[in-house]
């Protein structure tokens, strides 16, 4: 009720409109129909997670948002712009940046070349010095071939390179997958810091204990649909339900 | 007369120079093929025809417009490169989702059509194109006589090859190219216009072939078949060097030109086949080519 009252005030509707609104999203790999009407939204400055079993459609949802799924229908409105028919390079220019599950480090590029590859989209990106402060390893290894880095360093590089671009909406696909606890902590601290700086983040996570330390809300994905939304405060009370959803 | 290994030195160095000149053309042409293959994944069988078009463009600039060699060295690659861009936009770009074979057949067919058109118009006897006045004559190097124009061809080709290598391996634009070769989807997702890059890369590869054509015009007669004869050898060079390797195609191009020249001195009967024999041997030992990376 309070929300409805707020929304009627001039300007308030705009302030509460989500930064990203996904509605009835469907997506296909060739003939195979993978997303069946995903609907969810993300507000400015929020960190939300997509939780779900292997093959639920989390990665496909991210690929649809950044625009690299061949066939997708429905509606994805980012910052007031409908992007469902846009090529990915234009979506990127709106300020959306993607860290793929497989990290996407280029083997024919050095670490510094990988870092400098994504062009600046908007002002306000991190400077190289700020990035090296966050990830000192990258500075030491800047001349190495990108794929000669360790798994954790590659993950840092993959995140670091999009922080330069000025994009404030990040899609992080399983940034902690396969990493040692110290590195997971470091990535958690980085996400926390980005959140404090006003970034909006969608995080895909298998590890909901980790997700709980950084996120505001959690969407549960099953067979290409959102089947539940759990605010972070209710996570502890929802453990049984989550175990059922995730089969852990 | 001074002799080395039972061969007059003048003859030896003469053939080595000839080999170096042929090597210059092998290097420039296989480099263009490598650049195109790297990003487009298409073996550009129109390359020989585009080299020929470069030579014809300079002939036409001179005979129809009175524009000489030096401006032609810039203009002909731009003009022929532009026709390459049209070809890529109109036809080649439709094939990216299909098997390699389609691109090969298309570019091969387009090459034949272009050669046929030029044959109809200009016949096959060849048109003369003079050496620019600044480069006539030659130098006596003591051990051999070196025509100035041939020296220039080697130097110009080296400069162009090294500049191309530098752009691809050492600049930001080159980093985009290398990245897009590896993972075009992700590069596009960073906001980079990959389709435009592909089109321009094809144009640049074609312009390289045309540049070689302009250099060739004063040496070989300007002839609709000049590319068809050369390109067969160039494909062997590409196979030996490893498809898609930039430095590999430059080194292999020059080296095989020299090997061919040496063969002419010591065993002339094999000079026209030696490159193909090397190709077979390399394929047996390293199927990906000397500088190729196995996928
Ligand atoms: N390239 C592809 N071609 C065909 N089907 C695919 C492809 N990638 C994924 N799929 C299928 O689409 C469905 C959703 O996959 P997706 O990668 O989105 O799952 P996910 O939730 O990210 O899983 P994970 O937790 O394992 O990363 C799965 O059934 C998968 O088999
Ligand atoms: Mg996934």
ipTM of the complex: 0.89
- Please tell me if the CB atom of residue A184 comes closer than 6 angstroms to any atom of ligand 1: no
Residues contacting residue B116 through CB under 8 Å, at least 6 positions apart:
none
Res. A4: pLDDT tops 50: no
Cα maximum dimension of chain A: 58
In the DSSP assignment, the letter for residue A202 is E
- The confidence band for A10, taking pLDDT boundaries of 50, 70 and 90, is very low
Domain tally, chain A: 1
Chain A residues close to B182, C-beta within 8 Å:
106-108
Q: Domains of chain B (ranges plus CATH)?
A: 19-124+143-285 (1.10.3470)
Q: Which SS3 state, helix, strand or coil, does residue A214 take?
A: helix
Cβ-contact A84, A76 below 8 angstroms: yes
Question: For residue A6, is it within any domain?
Answer: no
How do residues A138-189 score in pLDDT, each as one tens digit? Answer: 998 888 998 999 888 999 999 999 999 999 999 999 999 888 888 899 899 9
Please provide the DSSP assignment of B58-126 as one string.
HHHHHHHH---HHHHHHHHHHHHHHHHHHHHHHTGGGGTTS-HHHHHHHHHHHHHHHHHHHHHHH-SS-
Which of B38, B176, B189 to substitute to test the interface with A, most A CBs within 10 Å? B189
- If you measure from the C-alpha of residue A21 to the centroid of ligand 1, how many angstroms do you get, rounded to a whole number? 22
Q: What is the dihedral of CA A51, A56, A61, A64, to 10 degrees?
A: 170
How do residues A133-147 score in pLDDT, each as one tens digit? Answer: 988 889 988 889 989
pLDDT given for residue A124 in this prediction: 87
Res. A6: pLDDT tops 60: no
Q: How far is A64 from chain B (nearest CA, A)?
A: 11
Chain B: residue whose CA lies nearest to A106 = B179
Residues contacting residue B111 through CB under 8 Å, at least 6 positions apart:
B45, B46, B47, B48, B49, B227, B228
Q: Which SS3 state, helix, strand or coil, does residue A24 take?
A: strand
CATH number, domain with residue A100: 3.40.50.300
Q: Which SS3 state, helix, strand or coil, does residue A215 take?
A: coil
State the CB neighbour count (10 A cutoff) for residue A178.
10
Q: How far is B191 from chain A (nearest CA, A)?
A: 4
- The confidence band for A202, taking pLDDT boundaries of 50, 70 and 90, is very high
Q: Which residue has the CA at smallest separation from atom 18 of ligand 1?
A: A57
Res. A52: pLDDT tops 60: yes
Of B183, B191, B193, the CB nearest to A106: B183
Res. A8: pLDDT tops 50: no
pLDDT given for residue A7 in this prediction: 41
Query: With an 8 Å Cβ cutoff, are B172 and A104 in contact?
Result: no
pLDDT given for residue B207 in this prediction: 97
Find the domain containing A85 and state its range.
18-246
Average pLDDT in the B151-163 region? 95
A154 touches chain B (CB under 8 A): no
pLDDT given for residue A114 in this prediction: 96
CA atoms within 13 A on the CB side of A179: 26
A115 touches chain B (CB under 8 A): no
CA atoms within 13 A on the CB side of B293: 9
- The confidence band for A1, taking pLDDT boundaries of 50, 70 and 90, is very low
Res. B295: pLDDT tops 50: no
pLDDT given for residue A17 in this prediction: 81
Question: For residue A113, is it within any domain?
Answer: yes
Which of B165, B168, B191, B248 to substitute to test the interface with A, most A CBs within 10 Å? B191
Q: Give the pairing of strands A71-78 and A20-29.
A: antiparallel
Res. A15: pLDDT tops 70: no
- The confidence band for B294, taking pLDDT boundaries of 50, 70 and 90, is low
- If you measure from the C-alpha of residue A223 to the centroid of ligand 2, how many angstroms do you get, rounded to a whole number? 13
How do residues B171-224 score in pLDDT, each as one tens digit? Answer: 999 999 999 999 999 999 999 999 999 999 999 999 999 999 999 999 988 999
pLDDT given for residue B229 in this prediction: 82
Give the percent of chain B with pLDDT over 70. 99
Q: How far apart are CA A203 and CA A224, in angstroms?
A: 17
Res. A3: pLDDT tops 50: no
CA atoms within 13 A on the CB side of B216: 34
pLDDT given for residue B266 in this prediction: 86
Supply the mean pLDDT for chain A.
90
Chain A: residue whose CA lies nearest to B176 = A117
- Please tell me if the CB atom of residue A54 comes closer than 6 angstroms to any atom of ligand 1: yes
Res. B289: pLDDT tops 90: no
pLDDT given for residue B5 in this prediction: 72
pLDDT given for residue B227 in this prediction: 93
Q: Which of A125, A124, A150, A126 is nearest to A137 (CA)?
A: A150
């Amino acid at each position: 009720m309070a929300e409805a009252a707020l929304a009627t005030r001039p300007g308030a509707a705009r302030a509460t409109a989500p930064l990203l609104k996904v509605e009835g999203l469907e997506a296909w790999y060739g003939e195979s129909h993978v997303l069946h009407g995903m609907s969810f939204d993300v507000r400015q400055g929020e960190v939300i997670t997509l939780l779900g079993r292997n093959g639920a459609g989390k990665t496909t949802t991210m690929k649809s948002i950044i625009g690299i799924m061949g066939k997708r229908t429905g509606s994805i409105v980012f910052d007031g712009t409908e992007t469902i028919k846009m090529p990915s390079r234009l979506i990127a220019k709106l300020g959306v940046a993607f860290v793929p599950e497989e990290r996407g480090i280029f083997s024919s590029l050095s670490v510094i070349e990988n870092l400098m590859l994504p062009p600046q989209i908007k002002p306000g990106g991190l400077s190289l010095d700020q990035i090296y402060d966050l990830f000192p390893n990258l500075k030491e290894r800047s001349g190495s071939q990108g794929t000669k880095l360790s798994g954790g360093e590659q993950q840092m590089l993959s995140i670091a390179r999009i922080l330069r671009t000025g994009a404030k909406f990040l899609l992080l696909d399983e940034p902690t997958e396969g990493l040692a606890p110290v590195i997971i902590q470091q990535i958690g601290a980085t996400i926390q810091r980005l959140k404090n700086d006003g970034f909006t983040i969608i995080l895909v996570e298998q590890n909901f204990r980790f997700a709980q330390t950084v996120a505001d809300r959690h969407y549960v994905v099953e067979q290409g649909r959102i089947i539940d939304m759990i605010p972070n405060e209710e996570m502890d009370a929802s453990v049984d339900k989550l175990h059922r959803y995730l089969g852990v | 007369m001074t002799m080395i290994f039972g061969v007059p030195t003048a003859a030896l160095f003469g053939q080595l120079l000839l080999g170096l000149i042929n090597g210059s053309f092998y290097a420039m042409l296989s480099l263009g093929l490598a650049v195109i293959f790297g990003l487009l994944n298409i073996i550009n069988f129109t390359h020989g025809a585009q080299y020929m078009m470069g030579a014809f463009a300079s002939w036409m600039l001179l005979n129809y417009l009175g524009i000489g060699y030096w401006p032609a060295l810039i203009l002909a690659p731009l003009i022929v490169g532009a026709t390459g861009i049209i070809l890529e936009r109109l036809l080649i770009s439709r094939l990216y989702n299909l098997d390699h074979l389609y691109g090969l057949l298309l570019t091969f067919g387009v090459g034949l059509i272009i050669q046929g058109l030029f044959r109809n118009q200009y016949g096959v006897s060849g048109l003369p194109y003079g050496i620019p006045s600044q480069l006539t004559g030659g130098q006596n190097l003591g051990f051999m006589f070196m025509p100035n124009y041939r020296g220039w061809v080697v130097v110009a080709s080296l400069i162009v090859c090294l500049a191309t290598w530098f752009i691809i391996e050492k600049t930001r634009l080159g980093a985009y190219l290398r990245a897009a070769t590896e993972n075009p989807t992700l590069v596009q997702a960073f906001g980079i216009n990959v389709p435009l890059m592909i089109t321009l890369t094809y144009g640049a590869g074609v312009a390289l072939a045309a540049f070689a054509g302009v250099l060739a015009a004063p040496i070989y007669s300007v002839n609709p078949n000049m590319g068809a004869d050369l390109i067969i050898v160039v494909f062997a060079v590409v196979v030996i060097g490893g498809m898609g390797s930039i430095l590999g195609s430059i080194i292999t191009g020059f080296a095989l030109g020299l090997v061919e020249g040496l063969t002419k001195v010591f065993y002339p009967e094999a000079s026209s086949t030696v490159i193909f024999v090397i190709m077979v041997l390399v394929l047996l030992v390293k199927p990906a080519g000397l500088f190729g990376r196995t996928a």
